Amino acid sequence: MVVKPLTKNIDMSRPPMSVEQYQGAGGYVSIKNIANGLAPEAVLQLVKDSGLKGRGGAGFPTGLKWSFVPMGDNAPKDKYLVVNADEMEPGTFKDRLLMEGDPHLLIEGMIIAAYTIQASKAYIFLRGEYTESEKALSQAIKEARKAGFLGRNILDTGFDLDIVLHTSAGRYICGEETALLNALEGKRANPRAKPPFPQVSGLWGKPTIVNNVETICNLPGIISHGVQWYQSLTKGIDHGTKLFGVSGRVKTPGCWELPFGITIREVIEEYAGGMQDGYELRAFLPGGGSTDFLLPEHLDLTLDYDEIGKAGSRLATGTMIILDDKTCPVGMVGNLMHFFSHESCGWCTPCRDGLPWVDQIFIDLEQGKARPNDLQVLHDHVEYLGPGRTFCALAPGAMAPLGSALKHFKEDFDAHLSKKCCPYGTH
Amino acid sequence: MSSKVIASTSIKARPLSPSEIDEIEHEMTLYPDKRAVGLEALKIVQKHQGWVSDESMLAISRYLDIPVSDLEGVATFFNLVFRKPVGRNVMLFCDSVSCWIMGCESIRKHINDKLEIDYGETSADGEFTFLPVPCLGDCDRAPVMMVGPDLHRNLTPEKIDKIILDYSNKPGTGKTE
C-alpha cells in the first residue's frame, strides 16, 4: 500500500511525470471514482472523515472549511476554487517540491475539491518567482485538458472545470487568503474583514475555497484509497502524512514526507543528519518564521498540531529552521523582523508602524545604538501586536519568534546592550 | 494663476506593441473582470520593456480603463513590478532567515565588491540590478538567488564570479525584445 502519497512520484533527478506516466502510476483514479457515481456530498464526507487539516499553516479542518460553501439549487452558480501557491513563509520550501516534482497530483486534487463544492473555475495563485513550478504546472494543465480531465463534461460527469495559472508579483501578505483574493481581483493585496468568509463571499463576491497546495495534494489519496488507509498512515494524532523540512546548519538539510507523530529528534537527527561538525543545536522554529522558538528539551515532542501547540509553539508549515550556537539569536530574530516589517501591507496601524519600529530597534542593537528601555519597547510590541490586536495574522505571526526570543535569549539581548555590539561578531 | 503644467500631464501614453496587446487580450479571457488584468498587464509590459514607465502605465490604464492611480497603487504594492529602469539581468537575492543563517551576508558583500552595487542599484555597465527578495523557498540549498528566471543554489563567492561572467556574456533576461 502507498505510504508516501504526496511524494511517491517525485524524483527531482528527472522531469515530472507526464499525464500518461502519472496515470500509469495510479494517478487520476479518484476522478474515475467520481465518474463512477461518487456524489459531491459523498466526497465531502470522505474528506471530513479523513481528518485532513489545512497544511498552509493554520491547520483548520479542510472538510469543515468546505462545508460552509452554499450548495444546492439556490446556491450561486459561479463558485471558485483557489489554490494558495504563494509560498513565502521564511524557511518554508515544501509546496515548491510538490509543484515541481508532481504537478498532476495538484491538478487531480483540484478537480476533487472543485467538484465537491461544484466550482467550474479554479485559479492557482502561484508565486511569480517560482518559474520552474510555473513551467511544470502549465505543461501539466495542458496535458490534463488534452486527456479529458479538465474542460467540459469531465469523464461524462456533466462537471466542467477550467484551471487558470495566475503568477503573482511578490508580496508575502498574498498568502493571507482574503488578501490573496484581492490580489487576484487586481487590487492591492490588503486583507478583507471577516465575516463574510470567502466560503460565502470570496472571489468577485462568489463562494470561494482557498486551500494550500499541500492540502490539495492530500485529496487524491483519500479518494482513491479511502479513509481507513489515510488514517493508517499516521504514527500519532493527526492523520495522513506531512512534508517536514529542516534548514540551517545541519548535515543534510531537506524536505521529506513523513507520518505525523514522529519526533522532532528523528527529523533533525536522522533525516537532516544532525548538526554540522562544530555546531550545536541552540533552538529552532518548528514551522517557519511565524512560530515560537522551541529548545533542545523539546526534541522528543511528536509532530502533531496539538503537541507542538501544548509546548507553546505551532506546527504551522512543518519546515523547521535551526538556530545553532555560533549564530546570533538576536541577529536571526532581527532578520525575521526586517522581513515582516517589509512585508506588512500597511493596512492597519499597529502592524504598519509597529513592525518598522521593532525592525529599527534590532538594527540599533546590532550597531550598539540601542538604549536599555528598547527591550521594554520590544516586550510592549509583543503585547500590542499580538493575536486579536491587528487586522490579520501577519503581525501576531511576527511576534511569535520575537516574544519567545526575548524569553529564551535574554542574556544575548543584554549582551548587545552592555557590549554595544553583536557579541557574535559581524554576519 | 500661471499656466504652469504639472509634470504628469505632459506625459503621453505610449502605444502598446501588437504582442503586448495580444498577451493582454489573452489574459482578459481568463478573468471575468478587466480590472483583474491590471497586474497581468503590468507584468506583460515589464517583460517586453524591462520595466514599467509612466508612459506604459498610462497606456495600460487607458487600454483596460483602470484609473491610473489605482494601477499605480497596485504597481507600487508588488515587489516585482519595476517602476524604474533595471539592468539587463535582475538579481533577486534571498536575504531571509535560512539564507542569513547560512551566510548570505558574506555573499552579498562579495557581490557589492565585485559589481560595486548594493540593493536597489544597477551596475555601471547596465548588466545587473541587485535586489533583495523575501525567502525564495529553497532553504535546504541556501544561500540562493535568482538571476532573471533562473535559480542559483548553494552560493559561494566562486559561484558568484562564474554567474556574473556567464550572464554578462549572454542575452539579457530582463527584456525579451
Of B73, B79, B135, the CB nearest to A92: B135
Same domain, B111 and B155: yes
What pLDDT, in 10s, does the model give residues B10-45?
A: 788 999 999 999 999 999 999 999 999 999 999 999
| CA B174 – CA A164 distance, rounded (Å) | 25
| CA A339 – CA B135 distance, rounded (Å) | 9
- Mean pLDDT, rounded, for B85-113: 97
Q: What is the pLDDT of residue A426?
A: 64
| Contact of A202 with B88, CB cutoff 8 Å | no
Indicate whether this complex's ipTM tops 0.90: yes
Last residue of a domain, one of B18, B45, B77: B77
- A156 CB burial (10 A radius; 0-12, 13-18, 19+): exposed
Interface of A with B in 111-150 (CB under 8 A): 127-132
Percentage helix, strand, coil, to 5, in chain A? 45, 15, 40
Same domain, B59 and B102: no
Of B77, B105, B138, the CB nearest to A93: B138
Last residue of a domain, one of B49, B77, B105: B77
**Mind listing the domains of chain A with CATH numbers?**
19-232 (3.40.50.11540), 241-324 (3.10.20.600), 329-419 (1.20.1440.230)
Residue of B nearest to A427 (CA): B105
What pLDDT, in 10s, does the model give residues A72-93?
A: 999 999 999 999 999 999 999 9
Of A164, A169, A254, the CB nearest to B80: A169
Domain span including residue B134: 89-168
What pLDDT, in 10s, does the model give residues B144-174?
A: 999 999 999 999 999 999 999 999 977 655 4
Regions of chain A with pLDDT less than 70: 426-427
Q: What is the pLDDT of residue B73?
A: 95
Same domain, B22 and B51: yes
Q: Is residue B84 part of a domain?
A: no
Query: Which site among B80, B135, B141, B152 would you substitute to test the A interface, given the most A Cβ atoms closer than 10 Å to its Cβ?
Result: B135
Q: pLDDT band for B2, please (50, 70, 90 cuts).
A: very low
Same domain, B103 and B142: yes
- Mean pLDDT, rounded, for B109-122: 97
- Indicate the average pLDDT of chain B: 92
Q: Is residue B134 part of a domain?
A: yes
Please report the number of interchain residue pairs, chain A to chain B, with beta-carbon separation below 8 angstroms: 143
Of B38, B39, B98, the CB nearest to A247: B98
Same domain, B33 and B94: no
Same domain, B55 and B17: yes
Q: What is the pLDDT of residue B171?
A: 64
Q: Using a CB-CB distance cutoff of 8 angstroms, which residues of chain B are in contact with residue A345? A: 77
Same domain, B57 and B31: yes
Q: Is residue B37 part of a domain?
A: yes
Same domain, B164 and B93: yes
Last residue of a domain, one of B26, B55, B77: B77
Q: pLDDT band for B176, please (50, 70, 90 cuts).
A: very low
Q: What is the pLDDT of residue B177?
A: 38
Same domain, B71 and B93: no
Q: What is the pLDDT of residue B7?
A: 56
CA distance B27 to chain A (A): 10
| H or E element, residue B73 | helix B68-77
| H or E element, residue B10 | none
Q: Using a CB-CB distance cutoff of 8 angstroms, which residues of chain A are in contact with residue B140? A: 93, 245-247, 253-255
Same domain, B69 and B34: yes
pLDDT > 70? residue B126: yes
Q: pLDDT band for B9, please (50, 70, 90 cuts).
A: low
| Domains contained in chain B, number | 2
The residue that leads in pLDDT, B6 or A68, is A68
CA distance A156 to chain B (A): 24
The CA-CA-CA angle for residues A274, A277, A282, to 5°, reads: 60
Dihedral sign, Cα of residue A134, residue A138, residue A144, residue A147 = negative
Q: What is the pLDDT of residue B169?
A: 79
- Which domain CATH number covers B129? 3.40.30.10
- A372 CB burial (10 A radius; 0-12, 13-18, 19+): exposed
Which cell goes with A264? Answer: 522532532
